[in-house]
Amino acid sequence: QKEVEQNSGPLSVPEGAIASLNCTYSDRVSQSFFWYRQYSGKSPELIMSIYSNGDKEDGRFTAQLNKASQYVSLLIRDSQPSDSATYLCAVGDDKIIFGKGTRLHILP
Amino acid sequence: DADVTQTPRNRITKTGKRIMLECSQTKGHDRMYWYRQDPGLGLRLIYYSFDVKDINKGEISDGYSVSRQAQAKFSLSLESAIPNQTALYFCATSDLSAGELFFGEGSRLTVL
């Protein structure tokens, strides 16, 4: 059974600081890794996808992947109150498995 | 109109009743997924399909069945609903392997 693990939080970060979200996974075969954001009462939406080892940056967001350690992370720079949400890590090429999500609170 | 439409959006039913949740999409995607979400448990995969003839079990398929009536339609059925199937159900689509999932707005099911 494939597993994706995340700290459930809540993670509280001051406005303007860097938020760091982490995820570990069990399936060494998967080549595809995703971070989704879900606001309360809404559907998940894709923030970042990453497929190779290293860093991938998109605006204030950076995804980091380390396949040897089976670890993927998401950094949010200059955190804003609008970043307060649940962040879901997802792993898989065809059968896409989600972690339980980390609740992030940005403190004004 | 939404690209991925789920019906009904809310449903309250009783234990033992048969329930069908429907998903239709206008995105032209081949891949369709059903997930359930419970507080604190993230999204758990129930079934997924890559075309009309390709249906696959997910993490928690027991107690559920699906039907892929057409490329654009993927239905989830609970043959005999039980209270622990009370959850928020999401349909999602994708157009290729390792691609982004596009979610519907969710169907909230309550089984009394």
Q: Do B101 and A96 touch (CB under 8 A)?
A: yes
Rounded mean pLDDT, B77-88: 96
Asked whether residue B98 carries a pLDDT value surpassing 80, the answer given is no
pLDDT band at A2 (very low <50, low <70, confident <90, very high): confident
CA distance A52 to A6: 20
DSSP character for B101? P
CA distance B88 to A41: 10
Write the pLDDT tens digit of every residue in A20-75: 999 999 989 989 999 999 999 999 999 999 999 999 999 999 999 999 999 999 99
Are A92 and A27 contacting, i.e. CB atoms less than 8 angstroms apart?
yes
Give the pLDDT score at A48.
Answer: 95
Among B19, B42, B21, B13, smallest CA distance to B104 is for B21
Measured between beta carbons, the chain A residues lying within 8 angstroms of B45 are 95-98
Among B65, B70, B9, smallest CA distance to B34 is for B65
Query: SS in 3 state form for B17-73?
Result: CCEEEEEEECCCCCEEEEEEECCCCCEEEEEEEEECCEEEECCCCCCCEEEEEECCE
Say what percent of chain B tops pLDDT 70.
98
Q: Do B40 and A51 touch (CB under 8 A)?
A: no
Measured between beta carbons, the chain B residues lying within 8 angstroms of A93 are 97-98
Q: Tokens 């059925």 correspond to what residue?
A: B77
CA distance, residue B106 to nearest chain A CA (Å)? 7
Per-residue CA distances from B28 to B22, B50, B67 (Å): 17, 12, 18
pLDDT band at A87 (very low <50, low <70, confident <90, very high): very high
pLDDT band at B1 (very low <50, low <70, confident <90, very high): low
pLDDT band at B105 (very low <50, low <70, confident <90, very high): very high
Mutate to test the interface with B, among A96, A97, A103 (most CBs of B within 10 A): A96
Phi, psi for A81 (deg, rounded to 5): -55, -30
Asked whether residue A3 carries a pLDDT value surpassing 70, the answer given is yes
A45 interfaces chain B, CB cutoff of 8 Å? yes
Asked whether residue A1 carries a pLDDT value surpassing 80, the answer given is no
Rounded mean pLDDT, A88-99: 95
Write the pLDDT tens digit of every residue in B55-81: 999 999 999 999 999 999 999 999 999
Give the pLDDT score at A40.
Answer: 93
